Amino acid sequence: MPGPTWDADTIVARYDEVRAHTETLAAPLSPEDQTVQSMPDVSPTKWHRAHVTWFFETFVLAQHEPSFTPFQDQYWFLFNSYYEGVGPRYARAERGHITRPGAHDVGLYRADVDARVRDLVTTLDGGSLEKLAPTIELGFHHEQQHQELLLMDIKHVLSVNPLQPVYAGTPLAPSAPDALGWVDVEGGLVEVGHRGGGFGFDNELPLHQQWLEQYRLADRLVTNGEWLDFMADRGYERHELWLSDGWGKVRDEGWRAPFYWREVDGVWFEHTLSGTRPVDPGLPVSHVSHYEADAYATWAGKRLPTEGEWEHAVVADGQVEPSPEAANLADRTTFHPRPAGPATGHLRQVFGDCWEWTSSAYLAYPGYHPPAGAIGEYNGKFMSGQMVLRGGCALTPPGHARLSYRNFFPPGSRWALSGVRLADGGARR
């Protein structure tokens, strides 16, 4: 699909749309909610709101606004995430210590930068705007990433509150899983990576070829009900199912169920953004690590797909673009994965519901080169010790999921909205 033509009016309209969506997501939260950091992986809501603003101030205004001065000198230090080329930054694990600026003051910061970006965009000549547009578009997608993270993070913040507060949304009626089906995929020499025409992060490039043996993918995600069977068969107690590092996590951290599950009087409950309720057997299992996904696949006699297999299977199945009807993305009703829906003979839940773990390490594609300057720190420097996830989730914003998107987390991460799709045939580890 061709990308948009970035004239001034289009940029301003898209800018306002993306920025407003962040504020809509933060609206149900009190200033106190927005300040809490419940673990090192979580950032406070107001930090997310400020950091994405810092991005536009740093990479758009500072580079192009005449007589630029920062909104507040210390904000560059407080709200830089990991850009060493920009300067020092506040420790990630201590972001919850920042009681000031408060949520209201962060709103003033956002409003100031928004007004200045609009003024800049509408006053630049066509050639200057054309050069700046890719950085602004990157800022849109960067903010969308943080919109998803904002929801994942506040989910954990609210989960540790004994009052069990609800963020928003209404749960669906309980459901039952249907039988797991399989979709056969021819292998061969296939293309993997961003195909051009629209936005893509640098880590999705270059488009390249991979050889795949014939394989098949499960037609839907693994469900809570199936995960309960894994638990009942002592899945968290059998070392032979686990990768060595994963078994170490099980023992060191006492894993016995997915991240947001807890057992009360023999009944398993799951915390969600729309409340804490009994585990629904028909919903996709979520908030499991790569280690857990791999152990489940081993227990089931299957494996996880490689990211190349995932991408090629989706292309072969005719689902190159997310379908608004079929993809559970930006779910504002439940803020949670949904049941797979009736079997169709095609892959279900490809885009949305849960990010899907693959067996692929997050590494550079052949011929990859990071962009020059601080922007080049965006993806490339994290290509070590991480695993790739594909497909998007129920919290992924509109227009942000795509076929070639490579999300990545450490294999022990559980707080992200991640799930499991099984593979079979082809190359085994």
pLDDT digits (tens, 9 = 90+) for 315-329: 999 999 998 888 999
Phi-psi region of 345 (alpha: psi -120 to 50; beta: other; left: phi over 0): left
Q: Which of 125-129, 287-291, 334-338 is predicted with the least confidence, judged by mean pLDDT? A: 125-129
The pLDDT of residue 1 is 43
Cβ atoms 86, 27 nearer than 8 A: no
Q: Is the pLDDT of residue 53 over 80?
A: yes
Q: Is the pLDDT of residue 428 over 80?
A: no
Nearest Cα residue to 153 out of 47, 28, 30, 55: 47
Dump the DSSP string for 226-260: HHHHHHHTTTTT-GGGS-HHHHHHHHHHT--S-TT
Residue 199: burial class (beta carbons within 10 Å; 0-12, 13-18, 19+): middle
CB-based burial, 61-98: b 16+ in 10 Å, e otherwise: beebeeeeeebbeebbebbbbebeebeeebeeeebbeb
Give the angle subtended at the CA of 341 by the CAs of 336 and 344, to the nearest 5°: 140
Q: What is the pLDDT of residues 139-183, one digit of tens each?
A: 999 999 999 999 999 999 999 999 999 999 999 999 999 999 999
The pLDDT of residue 422 is 98
Q: What is the pLDDT of residues 355-370, one digit of tens each?
A: 999 999 999 999 999 8
Could you give the CA distance from residue 226 to residue 232 in angstroms, rounded to a whole number?
10
Task: Tell me, rounded to whole angstroms, the distance of Cα 164 from its chain centroid.
Answer: 24
Which whole number is the average pLDDT over 70-83? 91
Cβ atoms 197, 321 nearer than 8 A: no
Pinpoint the alpha helices (H) of 80-223.
103-123, 126-159
Q: Which residues pair with residue 218 across a beta bridge?
A: 182
Q: What is the pLDDT of residues 171-218, one digit of tens each?
A: 999 999 999 999 999 999 999 999 988 999 999 999 999 999 999 999
* DSSP structural state of residue 188: E
Other beta carbons less than 10 A from residue 343's beta carbon? 13
169: which residues sit within 8 A by CB, 6+ positions away?
Answer: 272, 273, 274, 331, 332, 333, 334, 335, 336
The pLDDT of residue 3 is 56
106: which residues sit within 8 A by CB, 6+ positions away?
Answer: 46, 49, 50, 53
Q: Is the pLDDT of residue 2 over 70?
A: no
Q: Is the pLDDT of residue 5 over 90?
A: no
Strand 208-212 to 188-192 pairing: antiparallel
Q: Which residues pair with residue 387 across a beta bridge?
A: 361, 409
Q: Is the pLDDT of residue 426 over 80?
A: no
The structure tokens listed for 114 are 């928004």
Q: Is the pLDDT of residue 429 over 50?
A: no
The structure tokens listed for 120 are 């800049």
Secondary structure of residue 187 in the 3-state scheme: coil
Dihedral of the CA atoms 413, 415, 416, 420 (nearest 10)? 70
pTM for the complete prediction?
0.95
Q: What is the pLDDT of residues 259-313, one digit of tens each?
A: 999 999 999 999 999 999 999 999 999 999 999 999 999 999 999 999 999 999 9
Could you give the CA distance from residue 270 to residue 286 in angstroms, rounded to a whole number?
10
Mean per-residue pLDDT over the chain, rounded: 95
Nearest Cα residue to 295 out of 225, 206, 235: 235
The structure tokens listed for 369 are 């080169």
Nearest Cα residue to 388 out of 275, 252, 290, 278: 290
The pLDDT of residue 374 is 76
The pLDDT of residue 427 is 52
Could you give the CA distance from residue 381 to residue 242 in angstroms, rounded to a whole number?
28
296: which residues sit within 8 A by CB, 6+ positions away?
Answer: 222, 227, 230, 235, 288, 420
First to last CA, the chain: 35
The pLDDT of residue 378 is 80
Distances (CA, A) of 204 to 142, 367, 394: 15, 11, 22
13: which residues sit within 8 A by CB, 6+ positions away?
Answer: none
Q: What is the pLDDT of residues 7-41, one digit of tens each?
A: 999 999 999 999 999 999 999 999 999 999 999 99
The pLDDT of residue 165 is 95
